[in-house]
Structure 1
Amino acid sequence: MSSKRIFTTPTLAEKHSGIPDRLIDKARAAKSLVYEGKTTSDTTPRQRGIAIPQGISKQRFFEAIEELKKELGSENVELNDKELKEGWYMEHPNTHDMMPILDSEELVASALVYPGSTEEVVKIVRWANKFKVPIFPISMGRNLGYGGAAPRVRGSVTIDLGRRMNKILNIDPDDYTCLVEPGVSYYALYEELQKRGYQHMWIDTPDLGGGSVLGNAVDRGVGYTPYGDHWACHSGLEVVLPTGEVVRAGMGALPGNNTWQSFPYGFGPYSDGIFSQSNYGIVTKLGMTLMPNPGGYESFMYTFQNESDLAPLIEIIRPLRISNILENVAQLRHALQTVAIKGKPRSTYWTGEGVMPQEVYHKELKKMPVGDCEWVYYGMSYGPPHIRKYKLDIIHQEFTKIPGAKRIDPSTLPADEYFWSRDKIAAGIPDLEELLWVNWMPNGSHIAFSPVSPIRGKDAEALYALAKKRHTEAGIDLMPAFCVGLREMHLIVEIVFDSKNEKMRRAADKCLRDMIDDAAALGYGEYRTHLVLMDQVAGTYNWNDNALMRFNEKMKDALDPNGILAPGRCGIWPARYRGRGWEMGQGSGEKSEGEGVAPGAGTRL
């Protein structure tokens, strides 16, 4: 592909999912690298035709679509009968996963609908109940590594909430809160705060800023300021239930309330939790707390020389994190990711088969500003200079107990060093750099292994060892990152693969499934996972003869008697799908569908 091609990206002024003007050059460069790594066309011809969901005839389905067009306007309903376009992060498909672990036509929508209000979402839900058509809501569809915009049930009608429901409904500069619709990205919220002159408030952003503030919180995503637990920072939900009823949780249930965004609980049972990582309702409004500007900040980075430094370093991190000397999510990354984040393909450094030898990436690290190492720690200190100095001195004293530990002087780092991207993110400034490591493979795609453990050295070693064993067997390069919260630790392992290479896709799938089983046997469970892995992960939470899943299924059947809303999400299948082979596990291969749905199940609403 010609390097002279000029790449453009929609801006926020042009599209709700666009890029801020300040990141246009970075977006152009990132898109260029993505397309340089593509070895096949950006589009995939359809071999199987339009995906009609099981349980409805083709004729009846088209009749249903025509009725929906009359309800919402034909411009807001479209069939997914064209070739599939992959795109990239800022211009991704809403019909399927742009980074498929299965065949591209497996987890694919039959049609798309674009509601403009909660009232129109209600109309769609009632329509779905009438025709027993599965629906799958997305906010912006950028849930990359976990399934993107793909529906779990092939042929579902995707409800793209973000295209027309993208308003920032409120920003309260006194209470430090906001209220947003599903199509508000971190980019959009940040830029609006700057536009209004609200520099006294920060947002918290994940590694990339193009995702939905609402969607990320509902999926219990995280960011990198002290407000990094996004679900914990929400206050206020408006939800359309699978029957079409609308509820407001917490203080929102009180007409004329004035604290919906400030106090999350209200009165009685706390119901918000059942709408996170579930298929019990469609969240159309979300309140979030915003962080006070701490009056200054200072990023820092340490490198550690040996693989064996992991356990003693985690033991040092734990008390510092619990006491908030380490104030944000502590991120300890493997050095191979430092090489991969440059955005160049693996073949730049090595063309052999199997896992890249350590000496190869160590040779590259020696040429880089960070220097040769095995682990890299990215952190941030907040507050006025004298407060920061106090905390940073403690951190330095503790980290340098590890022989060979080195604090990297930021003044020695060039402007394009990845450190500066982490510096922005930890200061609540959304960026666009993180996914450059996906270019490690041609047609770069990734899928995540995300177990949670205590913050202990022995747990870090156990998880690292099992990941290394399975990656070696699969011939996949290991890029782990330990993200340490206040009382727990997430290990995020990103498997990078070529989505056009079936052998590599299968190897990635097996590697992940093996790690899930290995981790569960040691007492570690995933906090979040890809669509195709949800059944397996849910199955590991099986204490007391699967009591939790039986409880989840009872709630699903009560709230969604026709089983129309995102069936199978997080392993929760409604009654009409159960026992028909829809669950995926070891050996499922490319097959994501079961054998039909129960006829006549549920109630017509």
Structure 2
Amino acid sequence: MSTSQPPPPTLSERYSGVPKRLASIAQEAKNRLWSNKTLPESVPRRRQVRLPPDTTQDAFDTAIATLRRDIGAENVVLNDRPLVDGWYLEHPNTHDAFHVVDQEDLVCSAVAYPGSTSEVQSVVKWANECAIPIYPISMGRNVGYGGSAPRVPGSVVIDLGKRMHKIINIDVENASCVVEPGVSYFALYEEIQKRNLPLWIDTPDLGGGSVLGNAIDRGVGYTPMGDHFANHCGMEVVLPNGELLRTGMGALPGKDGSDNPTWQSFQPSYGPYSDGIFSQSNFGIVTSMGFWLMHETGHQSYMITFPRDEDFPAIVEAIRPLAQKRILGNIPQLRHVAQELNVTGLPKSHWYSGSSPIPRDIIRQHAARMPCGDCSWVFYGTQYGDPTGIKSQLDIIKSEFAKIKGSKFFLPKDLPVDHYIHSRALVCSGVPVLREIDWLNWKPNAAHLFFSPITPTRAEDAQVVHEINVRLHKKYGFDLFPTLCVAGREMHYIANIIYDRASEDEKRSAAGLMRELIAASANEGYGEYRTHILFADQVAGTYKWNNNALMRFNETIKDALDPNGILAPGRNGIWPRKYRGKGWEILGSEVEKAVGGGTISPSTVTSKL
């Protein structure tokens, strides 16, 4: 493939683009990825439009004509064009760009672009009248978990970002903001910088995703305000019947019809705290959301390396009291040294010519020539406050980690300017970047799945999950890239499964690995906090205490709010009565059997998928 690609869009050109300060970096990242690509941009479609279930062509045509009348013909686009997987900043909203099954499975029938909350209400009412499932997305950059793909093929994707990308308010005194779904971390950061406000945002590793969408899916960042859903305050939600709801203090009308002054100040209100049911669910469409921001402060990032793989339990034990006592300033990361190789953006073939997982001794040889040196684990942290406070914190941290023989402490100034620590330092001070995308170059046509269980911040628990990952990654022939995002009492153990989406064998193996990881971890009592849409039923099924009481509760809410079952059926394993028990669930090895087969047959999962 050509290494010279058209430039990605900038924020001045498109709401979903990259800031001009990162334009050249984005261009280089895109060129690198394309240089390792063998797939064509697209292949001919086998079918033109994937109809919604139980819908005839005539009924669909009539429904689409009605929807175009309601929100504008230019704002409803049929999915009858070639499917293009694109790139991070130029991703599809029609299917999963990192398709695990056939590219033409998990596709939408059309995409609707509402421009306001009232138009979202119109779309929802239309879906109820026409009995067509809809699947809302914010910006569709939930890559690694399914992207923009609807769980029920033929659904109409509701792309909220394209026309709903306003920063509604930034309240400097209250250190808060209100945003629509199409506001990216890039956009919010750049607006704060433009106004020269003394505030920070909290960003995940990549800055192109939706602030609102990430929080709704309970994503994380790395400053002290890294729990994004915990730091939201107030929602506006369109319910499945089209009614509009404000949660928290927003339920209290303000003076003379204005918003009341406490909506972004206090998360609950009076009575049950309902916000949580709209995260990782299909109970409503969040059209605007408030967030708390962080006051700018002094900060110091650092890196600590540990020499031996078997140091892992001791590292976790050292982390726990530091995290629980809040001596660690942020949500730090513990990574295996293998990630020092792949975050360079160089392909696996640069480091190792074999097709098997890269041997540990080869990793060691390469690491010895890198700034991190011959080590096994790398800890990235950041402290906040004034210089005296930061020094005091770092003295304690260095003292505790020094108890692990051979550990080494580095500041950013100790490392080359192109080292990954400088990217982490930016992220941990609220500056969204693009560096993390470079590890996708590991494989040709690279795609990835995230396996994301939760483990207590305790060595015996973390070791169990880690050993499951080591064993199963070896069994299925994948390199293991673990990242542990550390909070006080728990860690997100995130394994990044990188596969070649041009290889049906690799896709099948990735699906098999994912399925076994979920099952093996659940058998030991560890569950995922977030997963790809194809594995949602399996993960939801692991939370089965007391005869699946949690799912029965979720289904009760779903049926009450969405009796027609139109809103994102199957998202996070929650099926409305219309679909429930009718073969839509994906369990066992059905995903692997579907790879390369186009529509999954009734004998495996369902005639619908």
Compute the TM-score of the two structures, normalised by the length of structure 2. Answer: 0.96
Q: Is the aligned partner of 1:250 residue 2:248?
A: yes
* Residue among 415, 434, 437 paired with 2:436: 434
Match of 2:191 in 1: 192
Match of 1:80 in 2: 79
Match of 1:603 in 2: none
2:202 match: secondary structure: coil
Match of 2:218 in 1: 220
Higher deviation after alignment, 363-372 or 60-69 = 363-372
Q: Deviations over 1:54-92 (max 9, x none)?
A: 111111111100111111111000100010011111110
Match of 2:345 in 1: 343
Match of 1:600 in 2: none
Higher deviation after alignment, 343-352 or 520-529 = 343-352
Contact 1:107–1:592 (CA under 8 A) maintained in structure 2 = no
The one-letter code of the counterpart of 1:479 is: F
Match of 1:230 in 2: 228
Higher deviation after alignment, 143-152 or 347-356 = 347-356
Contact 1:167–1:181 (CA under 8 A) maintained in structure 2 = yes
- Pairing 1:118-129 to 2, within 5 Å after superposition: 118-129=117-128
Please give the alpha-carbon distance, in whole angstroms, between the structure 1 residues aligned to 2:537 and 2:132.
21
Match of 1:161 in 2: 160
Match of 1:152 in 2: 151
Contact 1:447–1:494 (CA under 8 A) maintained in structure 2 = yes
Q: Is the aligned partner of 1:378 residue 2:348?
A: no
- Pairing 1:14-29 to 2, within 5 Å after superposition: 14-29=13-28
Please give the alpha-carbon distance, in whole angstroms, between the structure 2 residues aligned to 1:478 and 1:116.
42
The one-letter code of the counterpart of 2:167 is: I
Q: Is the aligned partner of 1:517 residue 2:519?
A: yes
Match of 1:543 in 2: 545
Contact 1:333–1:377 (CA under 8 A) maintained in structure 2 = yes
Please give the alpha-carbon distance, in whole angstroms, between the structure 1 residues aligned to 2:601 and 2:114.
28
Q: Deviations over 1:10-48 (max 9, x none)?
A: 111110001001111110111011111111112232113
Contact 1:43–1:84 (CA under 8 A) maintained in structure 2 = yes
- Pairing 1:54-69 to 2, within 5 Å after superposition: 54-69=53-68
Q: Is the aligned partner of 1:527 residue 2:529?
A: yes
2:496 match: secondary structure: strand
Contact 2:2–2:34 (CA under 8 A) maintained in structure 1 = no
Match of 1:171 in 2: 170
1:526 match: secondary structure: coil
1:12 match: secondary structure: coil
Q: Deviations over 1:205-232 (max 9, x none)?
A: 0000000000000100000000000000
Match of 1:241 in 2: 239
The one-letter code of the counterpart of 2:287 is: T
Please give the alpha-carbon distance, in whole angstroms, between the structure 1 residues aligned to 2:345 and 2:536.
30
Please give the alpha-carbon distance, in whole angstroms, between the structure 1 residues aligned to 2:404 and 2:71.
62
Contact 2:528–2:539 (CA under 8 A) maintained in structure 1 = yes
Contact 1:362–1:373 (CA under 8 A) maintained in structure 2 = yes
Compute the TM-score of the two structures, normalised by the length of structure 1. Answer: 0.97
Q: Deviations over 1:472-518 (max 9, x none)?
A: 00000000011111221110000000011110001011101101011
Please give the alpha-carbon distance, in whole angstroms, between the structure 1 residues aligned to 2:93 and 2:355.
34
The one-letter code of the counterpart of 1:99 is: F
Please give the alpha-carbon distance, in whole angstroms, between the structure 2 residues aligned to 1:115 and 1:521.
43
Match of 1:602 in 2: none
Contact 1:532–1:592 (CA under 8 A) maintained in structure 2 = no
Q: CA deviation at 1:578?
A: 1.0
Q: CA deviation at 1:457?
A: 0.7
Please give the alpha-carbon distance, in whole angstroms, between the structure 2 residues aligned to 1:375 and 1:592.
44
Please give the alpha-carbon distance, in whole angstroms, between the structure 1 residues aligned to 2:214 and 2:606.
32
1:514 match: secondary structure: helix
Contact 1:106–1:592 (CA under 8 A) maintained in structure 2 = no
Match of 1:415 in 2: 417
Q: Is the aligned partner of 1:210 residue 2:208?
A: yes
Higher deviation after alignment, 85-94 or 582-591 = 582-591
2:212 match: secondary structure: helix
Q: CA deviation at 1:106?
A: 0.6
Match of 1:601 in 2: none
Q: Is the aligned partner of 1:285 residue 2:288?
A: yes
2:151 match: secondary structure: coil
* Residue among 265, 274, 278 paired with 1:275: 278
The one-letter code of the counterpart of 1:277 is: Q
Please give the alpha-carbon distance, in whole angstroms, between the structure 1 residues aligned to 2:329 and 2:307.
24
Q: CA deviation at 1:376?
A: 0.5
Q: CA deviation at 1:6?
A: 4.8
Unaligned stretches of 5+ in structure 1?
598-605
Match of 1:389 in 2: 391
Q: CA deviation at 1:423?
A: 0.4
* Residue among 459, 462, 472 paired with 1:457: 459
Aligned residues: 594
Q: CA deviation at 1:595?
A: 4.9
1:467 match: secondary structure: helix
Please give the alpha-carbon distance, in whole angstroms, between the structure 2 residues aligned to 1:566 and 1:434.
30
Unaligned stretches of 5+ in structure 2?
255-259, 595-599
